[in-house]
């Protein structure tokens, strides 16, 4: 009868203590830089913010934009270039002969207007030129028929490589390489986006796990305080040894320490996520507490190893990058092989010439020398009744050449003064060690890229296998952890009932509480590890972007 009364009294005290907890929960540590404002955030919203605001993506995008601009710069090598070079000159030259200039000085005043157009074609290495040169010359030379003289020359030429630089040259190779560098930059950007999305998902689930760990730790603190209150009442009633209060207090403080530590982990996980989604360090989101709301289990796109590996080998950006780099090496290889050939260029040029001017009004020096002789001879001829002797005539300037600049252009395009040249230039390197060495380097790079592809494929195989194994293990862990949590809860409830009847101890109750809390933690971790394994599988397959319907632009 006494034992029954003791058990009844003990049970009454325990039941009463459940409603008379007077001590307040320990205060949570202050979270640095975070206000009481909370922001509930879904996974899709988190990923969207990361894509819009993440600085790593913006840095990678500037690299891609730089590559695009470099292509434009390479295309500039094939832009036509126009040049106009007007030049006025006034030359005074001392001369020792009166046949060159009166008074020992020859004066030439000229105005030259030269225009040229150069154009390289992007195919077959063809280059062309068009030159239009005009000159107006005024001189004191007495033997010049025109003063001033107007001269125009229009020349069109083309140079065509026949062997070296026909299919490819350095400039065209550079353009093709820069285009492929844009493809490589796009692959790098895609890879960066995949990395950021995957890291954002991992950080999101880490924050969920951290917050769940806080909940479990907080529950443990509550259980510990409840057990301490029960023990205090039992000690006061004389049914429990006082030493059990110390044991309960020690365990309670240990749990409070764990709770504080878990709160710090929440802050670290939250800051890690904010780093990925915040646009800058002064963004308002840094002052908000993030509450993830998506904790449901994900569905893997596939669990078949062969299908997953085949898909990964087609979609992974790393293999796309190797393919692009192989294409770049192929261009360099083609260029090096081309530079080993002799350089043979066909050259053709066609010219039109135009000339005009004003007939010089100055006397011919040779004619002036014989003027006294002809005058004296004609006087004697007249005295004898003979006809006069005409002075020697050097001929007159053709009338078609007399005129101004319009006459020059008329003569230029009249087709009467044209010329053309056709020829070949041959350059042959007896030893072309530079081209041979460059070609050898491309062969080495080709082998290295094959090895890199094989290594990348092997790493992808391992990553796919690890991700699938992680999914399978996490699924089994979820089942085991949930079963463990149910069993631990039943054991805890049973232990509490036994404790109420005096058939158990404080130590066993606290132990069962710890076991239940540990099982709950493992269940949370297993669920989140499953989701993280699914995200790793998406990343291993190269399916991260398609899974979230993301297009890289």
In this predicted model, what pLDDT tens digit does every residue of 85-124 receive, in sequence order? 999 999 888 877 666 666 678 888 999 999 999 999 988 9
CA distance 26 to 65: 54
Contact 258, 252 (CB under 8 A): no
CA distances from 175 to 70, 152, 170, 328 (A): 9, 38, 9, 11
Q: What is the pLDDT of residue 8?
A: 45
394 part of a folded domain: yes
Structure tokens at 9: 């009294």
Q: What is the pLDDT of residue 99?
A: 65
Report residue 490's pLDDT band, with 50, 70 and 90 as the boundaries: very high
406 part of a folded domain: yes
Higher pLDDT, 363 or 496: 496
Task: Find the length of the chain.
Answer: 553
Lowest mean pLDDT among 64-78, 318-332, 398-412: 398-412
Lowest mean pLDDT among 29-38, 41-50, 132-141: 29-38
Q: Is the pLDDT of residue 26 over 70?
A: no
Question: What integer best gives the mean pLDDT of the chain?
Answer: 86
Higher pLDDT, 512 or 502: 512
Our separate counts of H helices and E strands in the chain read 12, 8
Q: Are strands 127-139 and 38-41 parallel, antiparallel or unpaired?
A: unpaired
Contact 220, 255 (CB under 8 A): yes
Q: What is the pLDDT of residue 2?
A: 42
Tell me the residue range of the domain where 418 lies. Answer: 103-172+345-433
Strand partners, 38: 289
Q: What is the pLDDT of residue 400?
A: 79
Q: pLDDT tens across 120-163, in order?
A: 998 898 999 999 999 999 988 777 778 888 999 999 999 999 98
Structure tokens at 80: 């036509």
CA distance 361 to 391: 18
Q: What is the pLDDT of residue 427?
A: 87
Nearest-5° Cα angle at 510, 504 to 516: 110
CA distances from 400 to 8, 352, 409, 417 (A): 141, 16, 12, 12
CA distance 118 to 82: 7
Lowest mean pLDDT among 65-74, 160-169, 289-298, 394-403: 394-403
Q: Identify which of 358, 225, 205, 217 has the alpha carbon closest to the alpha carbon of residue 293.
A: 205
Lowest mean pLDDT among 76-85, 118-127, 407-416: 407-416
Cα atoms in the Cβ-side hemisphere of radius 13 Å centred on 511 = 9
366 part of a folded domain: yes
SS3 for 480?
helix
446 part of a folded domain: no
CA distance 393 to 396: 8
CA distance 539 to 546: 11
Q: Is the pLDDT of residue 265 over 60?
A: yes
518 part of a folded domain: no
Mean pLDDT score, 300-327? 91
CA distance 17 to 232: 9
Structure tokens at 384: 């004898």
CA distances from 522 to 22, 120, 251, 370, 518 (A): 32, 70, 21, 128, 6
Taking the CB of residue 38, how many other CB atoms lie within 10 A of it? 11
Q: Identify which of 173, 192, 214 has the alpha carbon closest to the alpha carbon of residue 55.
A: 192
Contact 188, 63 (CB under 8 A): yes
Q: What is the pLDDT of residue 203?
A: 93
Q: Is the pLDDT of residue 187 over 60?
A: yes
CA distance 120 to 106: 43
Q: Which residues contact 49 (CB under 8 A, 6 or more apart)?
A: 277, 278
Cα atoms in the Cβ-side hemisphere of radius 13 Å centred on 362 = 18
Higher pLDDT, 546 or 70: 70
CA distance 143 to 67: 64
Lowest mean pLDDT among 157-161, 399-403, 459-463: 399-403
Mean pLDDT score, 63-72? 92
Percent share of the chain, pLDDT over 90: 46
Our CA dihedral for 430, 434, 440, 444, rounded to 10 degrees, sits at 180
Outline where 298-394 has alpha helix (H). Answer: 305-315, 317-339, 365-383
Q: pLDDT tens across 210-222, in order?
A: 999 999 999 999 9
Contact 133, 355 (CB under 8 A): no
Tally the domains of the chain. 1
pTM score of the predicted model = 0.75
159 part of a folded domain: yes
CA distances from 127 to 120, 169, 335 (A): 4, 12, 19
How far from the centroid of its chain's Cα atoms is residue 50's Cα?
Answer: 18
H or E element that contains 116 = strand 105-120
Q: pLDDT tens across 220-246, in order?
A: 999 999 988 988 998 888 888 888 888
Contact 312, 541 (CB under 8 A): yes
Q: What is the pLDDT of residue 197?
A: 92
Lowest mean pLDDT among 83-92, 123-132, 348-357, 362-371: 362-371
Q: What is the pLDDT of residue 181?
A: 94
Q: Identify which of 89, 306, 76, 321 has the alpha carbon closest to the alpha carbon of residue 186.
A: 321
Higher pLDDT, 102 or 281: 281
514 part of a folded domain: no
H or E element that contains 222 = helix 170-237
Percent share of the chain, pLDDT over 70: 90
425 part of a folded domain: yes
Q: Which residues contact 181 (CB under 8 A, 6 or more apart)?
A: 67, 70, 71, 328
Q: Are strands 289-292 and 38-41 parallel, antiparallel or unpaired?
A: parallel
């Amino acid at each position: 009868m006494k034992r029954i009364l003791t058990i009844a009294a003990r049970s009454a005290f325990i039941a009463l203590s459940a409603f008379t907890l007077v001590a307040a929960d320990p205060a949570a540590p202050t979270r640095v830089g975070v206000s009481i404002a909370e922001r509930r955030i879904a996974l899709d919203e988190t990923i969207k913010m990361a894509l819009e605001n993440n600085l790593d993506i913006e840095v990678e995008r500037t690299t891609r934009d730089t590559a695009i601009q470099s292509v434009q710069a390479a295309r500039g090598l094939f832009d036509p270039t126009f040049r106009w070079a007007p030049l006025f000159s006034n030359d005074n030259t001392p001369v020792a002969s009166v046949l060159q200039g009166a008074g020992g000085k020859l004066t030439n005043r000229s105005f030259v207007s030269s225009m040229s157009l150069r154009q390289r074609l992007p195919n077959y290495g063809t280059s062309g030129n068009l030159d239009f040169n005009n000159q107006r010359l005024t001189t004191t030379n007495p033997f010049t028929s025109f003063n001033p003289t107007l001269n125009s020359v229009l020349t069109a030429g083309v140079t065509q490589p026949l062997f070296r630089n026909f299919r490819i040259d350095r400039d065209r190779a550079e353009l093709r390489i820069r285009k492929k560098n844009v493809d490589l930059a796009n692959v790098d950007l895609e890879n960066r986006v995949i990395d950021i999305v995957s890291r954002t998902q991992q950080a999101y689930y880490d924050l969920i796990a951290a917050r769940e760990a806080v909940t479990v730790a907080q529950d443990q603190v509550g259980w510990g305080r409840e057990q301490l209150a029960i023990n205090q009442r039992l000690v006061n009633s004389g049914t429990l040894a006082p030493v059990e209060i110390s044991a309960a207090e020690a365990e309670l403080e240990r749990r409070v320490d764990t709770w504080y530590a878990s709160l710090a982990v929440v802050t670290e996980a939250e800051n890690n996520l904010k780093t990925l989604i915040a646009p800058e360090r002064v963004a308002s989101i840094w002052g908000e507490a993030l509450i993830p709301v998506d904790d449901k289990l994900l569905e893997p796109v596939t669990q078949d190893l062969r299908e997953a590996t085949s898909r990964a080998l087609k979609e992974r950006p790393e293999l796309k990058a190797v393919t692009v780099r192989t294409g770049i090496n192929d261009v360099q290889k083609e260029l090096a092989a081309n530079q080993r050939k002799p350089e043979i260029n066909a050259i053709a040029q066609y010219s039109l010439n135009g000339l005009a001017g004003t007939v010089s009004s100055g006397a011919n020096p040779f004619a002036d020398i014989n003027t006294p002789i002809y005058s004296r001879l004609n006087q004697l001829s007249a005295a004898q009744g003979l006809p006069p002797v005409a002075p020697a005539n050097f001929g007159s300037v053709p009338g078609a050449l007399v005129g101004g600049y319009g006459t020059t252009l008329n003569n230029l395009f009249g087709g009467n003064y044209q010329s053309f040249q056709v020829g070949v230039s041959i350059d042959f390197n007896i030893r072309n060690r530079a081209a041979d060495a460059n070609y050898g380097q491309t062969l080495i790079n080709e082998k290295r890229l094959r090895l890199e592809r094989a290594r990348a494929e092997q790493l992808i195989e391992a990553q796919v296998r690890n991700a699938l194994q992680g999914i399978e293990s996490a699924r089994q862990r979820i089942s085991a952890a949930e079963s463990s949590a149910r069993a631990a809860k039943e054991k805890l409830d049973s232990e509490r009932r036994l404790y109420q009847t005096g058939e158990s101890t404080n130590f066993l109750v606290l132990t069962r509480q710890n076991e239940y809390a540990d099982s709950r933690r493992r269940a949370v971790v297993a669920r989140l590890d499953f989701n993280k394994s699914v995200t790793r599988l998406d990343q291993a397959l190269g399916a991260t972007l398609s899974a979230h319907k993301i297009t890289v632009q």
